[in-house]
Amino acid sequence: MKRFLIYTLIVVASYITGILAFKATYNLLSIPEGSEYDLLFTGINLFFIFTVLPAYFFIMSLFRLFQIRSIILMGITLILFGIIPSTFVPFLGGFGFIYLNSQYFQSELFILLYSFFAATAIAFSIGLFLSKKTLTE
C-alpha cells in the first residue's frame, strides 16, 4: 500500500511539474493569450496517461531487470523518450494539419510539448530516486 501511494505521488508530482514547465515555456516564447496551443491539454493528458506513464514504468522495470541503478541514465532515457510523444500529441489532439517534417522540430508546438515531457521525465526520475530511499528504509 505504501508503494502504491508513493508511486501515485510521483505520477501526480511529475504531471504538475510538466504543466508548470509547459506554462513557463509558453510565457518564455511570448505566445499570445487565446492561442490554439491551449487546446493541447487534451492531447497531452491522453498521451501522458495512456502512453507516457506506462512507458515510464516499463523503462523503470527494464532498469530493475538489468539491475541498472544510475538515476542519471534513467533520467536521460526518459528525456529522450519524450521526443516520441512530443511528435505524436498534435495528431491525437486534432492538429492533424501539421505534417511531420524537419521544421516541426523547431516549431513552438514541439518546444512546448517537449518541455512538458522532459519536465515529467526529470520529476519522475527524481521521484523514483527518492522513493527507493524511502521504500528501503
Dist. CA 3–CA 93, nearest whole Å: 33
Cβ neighbours, 10 Å, residue 76: 14
Task: Provide the pLDDT for residue 94.
Answer: 59
pLDDT in tens, 88-116: 766 665 555 555 677 777 888 889 989 99
Does residue 113 form part of some domain?
A: yes
* Amino acid symbol at 104: Y
Does residue 124 form part of some domain?
A: yes
Does residue 41 form part of some domain?
A: no
| Number of structural domains found in the chain | 1
The angle subtended at Cα 46 by Cα 27 and Cα 112, nearest 5°, is 20
pLDDT in tens, 115-131: 999 999 999 999 998 98
pLDDT in tens, 33-86: 777 777 777 778 888 888 899 999 999 999 989 998 888 899 999 999 988 888
Taking the alpha carbons at both ends of the chain, their separation in whole angstroms is: 15
Does residue 92 form part of some domain?
A: yes
Does residue 29 form part of some domain?
A: no
Does residue 34 form part of some domain?
A: no
Dist. CA 122–CA 61, nearest whole Å: 17
Q: pTM to 2 decimals? A: 0.86
Does residue 45 form part of some domain?
A: no
Domain containing 128: what range?
2-24+50-132
Does residue 118 form part of some domain?
A: yes
pLDDT in tens, 5-37: 999 999 999 999 999 999 999 999 988 877 777
